[in-house]
Structure 1
Amino acid sequence: MRKRMIETEQAETPPNLQWLDLAQLASVEITSEDKAHPIEAALLPGEAGGWRAARPGRQTIRLHFDPPQRLQHVSLLFQETQTVRTQEYVLRLSPDGGKTQREIVRQQWNFSPQGSTRETEHHTLDAPAVTLLELIIIPDIGGGNAIASLEALRLA
């Protein structure tokens, strides 16, 4: 019998991406924020600790771009080392400040401290003039009291 091992490592970030400087290009709106884990810690390179919500339940992060930006890649990193839960996130784009939105991904992930503690996602797209990127995180689709968090969000 022939046998092959299936690669299960998390996807690496595609090479040669020029990440957008979100500090210069975007303003951000959030539904809540733990003061010890501000949103800048997830959006800006060199920051540590990631963002964490101040309360349980569904959370929204919106990036507003002025001028509009071409988006070709979205990279997300989520980490959970303490709570077993199923998280769902949704990414939406808008070319007109949110009047119309296009959902680009809706995905669920099962976190388990005994095994699956890290979710890394890389989404390739071609969106020529984005004025709004919205990330919705439902930290526990089972309705528990989990706190949403985001280690990193990068855009190219």
Structure 2
Amino acid sequence: MFTILSDLDNSRRLSDGFIVAVKIIGDGRIRPSRYSLHDQLSPSDQQSREINTMLHLSHPNITRLLDYAVYDAEPLATLLALKFAPYGSLRDVFQAPPGEQMCKTVTEQVLEGLRYLHRFNIMHRDINPSNILVFDYDVLNFHCKIATICRPLGKVISEQQ
């Protein structure tokens, strides 16, 4: 369970005060006092399947979905609580082209994340600098993760296809 602060981008989880990033899917014009937690209201079957998949993903190069909430009145909206990326995305970090070593590091980490997703027949469909989030960024350490946002970025591919 999380509480929405005045800024919808950053929120605080009620249980421990942990800062999370909130992504809104849908209209987004919501009143924070009116939402239902995932164990109280089930979204559409497709969205429910995608969210359930995201909740079970666990990899160092995949952004973890911590929780979600569904606003249960018009306009409908789903709020996703993700681990907060203090440096933003690659688009935010790299205003100029990075050096060769940094490109190798980013590529390796993104490919490891994609390999993990593909093992579970998950196709991301929107890998770009805005969807690669940066968690550590200094001379010695660089750590990025693929943002796994529900629709339309992630798609579960059926075994039959």
Structure (1 or 2) with the greater helix fraction? 2
Q: Into which bin does the TM-score normalised by the smaller protein fall?
A: under 0.3
**Which structure carries more strand by proportion?**
1
What is the TM-score normalised by the length of structure 2?
0.26
TM-score by length of 1: 0.27
